[in-house]
Amino acid sequence: MINSASSALIKDFEKCKLKAYRCPAGVWTIGWGTTAEAGVGIKPIYGMVITQDQADHYFNLTIEKFLSEMRSFIKKPINDNELGAFVSLAYNIGTPRFNSSSALRFFNAGDKARAADAILLWNKAEGKVSAGLVRRRAAERALFLTPIGFAVHEDEQESRATPDAPKGTPMESTTMQAGFIQIASAGGAGVSAVSSLTGTAQIVALVFCGIVALAALWIMRERLRKWANGDQ
């Protein structure tokens, strides 16, 4: 599986809906953004309702399936945050598109900086820049660039320390990582507001983004305070 920061990022953008709905592209979707195309044993249709446990089950199945499909295409050592950012991207655009993406190509060439920037290119829905996708891509890029202190091959994931192992630094805390993701999301939204909105709508969007960023900073400050007091 992916780490908790990566899982939280995907769920934050997908949201969970227990009743089937049509996504902006017109595809029937349910749970944590699960579609029939995911191939995990469910085909959302009009009127379908599932439980929260089922939604979580299909989410986990989809993540495992995508990891399996991506594994052979990742040729370089990859750390948990890089992998999680790539899985989030694939969860949104599909593994075939990810496997042929410039983000993966740059990563396999050893150019992580260009790989991170290439994530941002996937910001359009039906040919138009989407504010939601701008925010998501910014958050994925931020996660990709967040260091965790070591890198491993995907097939070595099971041999590393478990998520409950003591953290060596505050930056290894998933709470801190989630805070950075929130700030990145707010930054992405700010960019979207400036570029796609005007007048009062632009001001309202920027104020909202500022509130989100301030809330994330407060959470990070509290986490650092607790860390200093020995609560890891």
- Give the number of other Cβ atoms within 10 Å of residue 219's Cβ: 15
Q: Is 211 exposed, middle or buried (0-12, 13-18, 19+ CB in 10 A)?
A: exposed
Task: Write down the catalytic residue from 16, 23, 64, 172.
Answer: 23
The helix (H) or strand (E) run that includes residue 83 is: helix 80-93
d(C-alpha 157, C-alpha 154), whole Å: 5
Using an 8 Å Cβ cutoff, are 176 and 223 in contact? Answer: yes
C-alpha span between 39 and 7 (Å, rounded): 19
Backbone angles phi, psi at 82, to 5 degrees: -65, -45
Strand partners, 29: 21, 35
Contact 84, 168 (CB under 8 A): no
Q: Which helix (H) or strand (E) holds 28?
A: strand 28-31
- Judge whether 82 counts as a catalytic residue: no
The answer to whether residue 156 is catalytic is no
Query: Which is the catalytic residue, given 14, 82, 140, 172?
Result: 14
Please list the active-site residues.
Answer: 14, 23
